[in-house]
């Protein structure tokens, strides 16, 4: 089966969900930083298999593409809040995979990609609304499981992870940029194990879900 993720993250999670026995059409995901509907997407494979979920994407152009290509998904045209701030500046680039809310990360992205000789262009920075991650989690997953949480928000993955109340929101699998030691420890303390590492990303699995299969 074809992977749409950067390094096969979707196939890893799909393998576990198949092993656990989750019906493919019942798979629910929460994709924070959806970007393109299929390119470098951790959730498009599950959509193709009949699953659906919530996709958060603040960039207007990419949000329009997602709405057209993935009508079963709930599309949230916003960013995710990790503090009291309810709007933020989104620094945009072409390719849009380098978009970020972090000004320092934006400068680093532009400098690094330019020095490597790859094409990158600045686009106009825009102000976008922010919605707390727990508000979205409880609104959309209060009546059933979230099988897969994917976070790919350049420079602020760790801040989003910090803002999650793991006692109230317990996705089965989590894919995110490799968090620092302190945040990893909090995820592990919440009853998760690190199950896979690929360049840039880590995948955590909920212990009680995995143990049932061992």
What is the percentage of the chain residues whose pLDDT exceeds 70?
99
pLDDT at residue 198 in the model? 94
Q: How far is CA 101 from CA 35, 45, 107, 131, 184, in A?
A: 14, 27, 11, 14, 22
Average pLDDT over residues 131-150: 96
pLDDT at 13 over 90: yes
Sole residue written with tokens 């390119």: 39
Bridge-based pairing state of the strands 87-94 and 79-81: unpaired
pLDDT at residue 29 in the model? 99
pLDDT at residue 43 in the model? 99
Three-class SS state of 134:
helix
pLDDT at 200 over 70: yes
Residue 157 pLDDT grade (very low, low, confident, very high; cuts 50, 70, 90) = confident
Residue 125 near residue 89, CB atoms below 8 Å = yes
What is the percentage of the chain residues whose pLDDT exceeds 90?
86
CA distance 25 to 74: 16
- Name the least confident of 54-63, 138-147, 149-158: 149-158
- Burial (CB < 10 A; 0-12, 13-18, 19+), residue 49, is middle
Residue 212 pLDDT grade (very low, low, confident, very high; cuts 50, 70, 90) = low
pLDDT at residue 90 in the model? 94
CA distance 109 to 179: 19
Average pLDDT over residues 105-113: 94
When the pLDDT of each residue in the chain is averaged and rounded to a whole number, the result is 94
Kindly list the structural domains of the chain, giving each domain's residue range(s) and its CATH number in brackets, ordered by start.
9-82+131-211 (3.40.50.150)
CB atoms within 10 A of CB 96: 15
pLDDT at 27 over 70: yes
Average pLDDT over residues 53-82: 97
- Name the least confident of 115-124, 136-145, 153-162: 153-162
Residue 213 pLDDT grade (very low, low, confident, very high; cuts 50, 70, 90) = low
pLDDT at 214 over 60: no
- Name the least confident of 33-42, 85-94, 147-156: 147-156
Average pLDDT over residues 127-153: 96
In the chain, where does DSSP find H-type helix?
Answer: 9-20, 44-48, 60-69, 103-116, 133-141, 157-162, 181-189, 207-211
């Amino acid at each position: 089966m074809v992977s749409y993720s950067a390094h096969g993250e979707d196939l890893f999670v799909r393998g576990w969900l198949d092993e656990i026995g989750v019906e493919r059409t019942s798979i629910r995901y929460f994709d924070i930083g959806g970007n393109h509907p299929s390119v470098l997407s951790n959730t498009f494979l599950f959509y193709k298999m009949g699953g659906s979920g919530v996709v958060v994407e603040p960039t207007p152009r990419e949000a329009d593409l997602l709405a057209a290509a993935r009508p079963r998904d709930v599309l949230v045209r916003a960013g995710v809040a990790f503090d009291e701030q309810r709007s933020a500046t989104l620094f945009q680039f072409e390719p849009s995979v380098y978009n970020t809310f972090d000004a320092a990360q934006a400068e680093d992205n532009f400098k690094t990609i330019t020095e490597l000789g790859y094409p990158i262009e600045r686009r106009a920075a825009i102000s976008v609304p922010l919605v707390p991650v727990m508000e979205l989690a409880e609104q959309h997953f209060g009546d059933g499981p979230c099988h897969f949480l994917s976070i790919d928000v350049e420079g602020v993955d760790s801040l989003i992870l910090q803002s999650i109340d793991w006692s109230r929101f317990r996705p089965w699998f989590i894919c995110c940029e490799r968090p620092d030691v302190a945040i990893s420890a909090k995820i592990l303390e919440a009853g998760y194990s690190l199950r896979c590492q690929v360049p840039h990303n880590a995948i955590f699995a909920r212990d009680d879900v995995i143990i049932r299969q061992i």
